[in-house]
Amino acid sequence: MSPNKFVRAVFPGSFDPITNGHLDVICRSLKIFDELIVAVGDNPDKDALFTGPERVRMIAELVKDYPEVKVERFTGLTVEYVKSQNAQVIVRGLRNLTDVQYEFQLALTNRAVAGIETVFIMTAEKYGFTSSTLIREVGRFGGDVSGLLPPSVFEKLTARLREKHP
């Protein structure tokens, strides 16, 4: 690879909500790539707590001091979105061995179907057990998830859970 090559990466996910683990992957990605697009997708198999536009706004506020990060919403196949953005790579965060098996299969499929490479970034050890799904579940039952989320996201999560589960 040429030392002057510009590399744009896409970090796709539902980010419902964005966690400190996600932010860790974003920061680690900025050490490698020239530009990072955080692509907020809707997963029809998940019952989202926050709308797509709400998730985009939350993330945009958190990364506002990083001009090399864009936050966008997308629908459809991730590889099609990546191609539409002229990105060269998909970024995926890894937390544990379970992630490795699933993500490896997904990466091989993306490469076979669309010729898109995937770069895996390990999250910090302290976030190795964290997932948005787990955070929503623990928060719904009153558990303290404040240390796993940015403060502004924790406030929004707490308010939303009170609305949905008074």
Catalytic, out of 22, 55, 92, 136 = 22
Whether 46 sits among the annotated catalytic residues: the reply is: yes
Catalytic, out of 14, 29, 55, 95 = 95
Whether 31 sits among the annotated catalytic residues: the reply is: no
Catalytic, out of 14, 55, 92, 132 = 132
Whether 132 sits among the annotated catalytic residues: the reply is: yes
Q: How far apart are CA 125 and CA 1, in angstroms?
A: 30
Catalytic, out of 46, 64, 126, 164 = 46
Amino acid 73 reads R
Whether 22 sits among the annotated catalytic residues: the reply is: yes
Which residues belong to the active site? 22, 46, 95, 132
